[in-house]
Amino acid sequence: MEPPQIFAMFKAIQTAFYAEGRDVTQTDVLADLAADLGMDGETFLRDFDSDTARARTQAHFRQARQAGVRGFPTLIVQRDTQLQTVSSGCLPLDTVRTEIDRCLRPDV
């Protein structure tokens, strides 16, 4: 999957789950979403169930843990290779804005 497709698939999964109440843990739902985006459903399922996909998923989980992700939602600011946790859990918008501003200050 190419980067533009990844973001489109992410958005489709979020919409299917939150707006449509679909069970996005089911591979047939994911294959349908991929097909709606112009991908071949069978190819998607083969790639989804591959050792490469499993290894990448585990690597993403490790990266999330290393970045300090401990809950949902977590917002992280990345500056070059530096990751800073802005918030973990639901917080008021003003609190999140203050933390983003703090993370983006040149002296941080």
Residue 18 belongs to some domain of the structure: yes
**Domain identity same for 45 and 72:** no
Give yes or no: residues 45 and 80 share one domain: no
- pLDDT beneath 50, residues of the chain: none
pTM for this one? 0.65
- Please tell me the predicted confidence (pLDDT) of residue 108: 56
pLDDT in the model for residue 63 = 86
Total count of domains within the chain: 2
**Which range marks the domain in which residue 84 is found?**
68-104
Nearest to 88 by CA among 105, 64, 71: 71
The verdict on 11 and 45 lying in the same domain is: yes
- Among the residues of the chain, which ranges form H helices? 3-14, 27-36, 41-48, 51-66, 93-104
- Tell me, yes or no, whether 40 and 10 share the same domain: yes
Residues 61-77 have pLDDT tens digits of: 998 888 888 888 899 88
Residue 74 phi, psi (nearest 5) = -120, 130
Question: Does residue 62 sit within a domain?
Answer: no
3-state DSSP call for residue 38?
Answer: coil
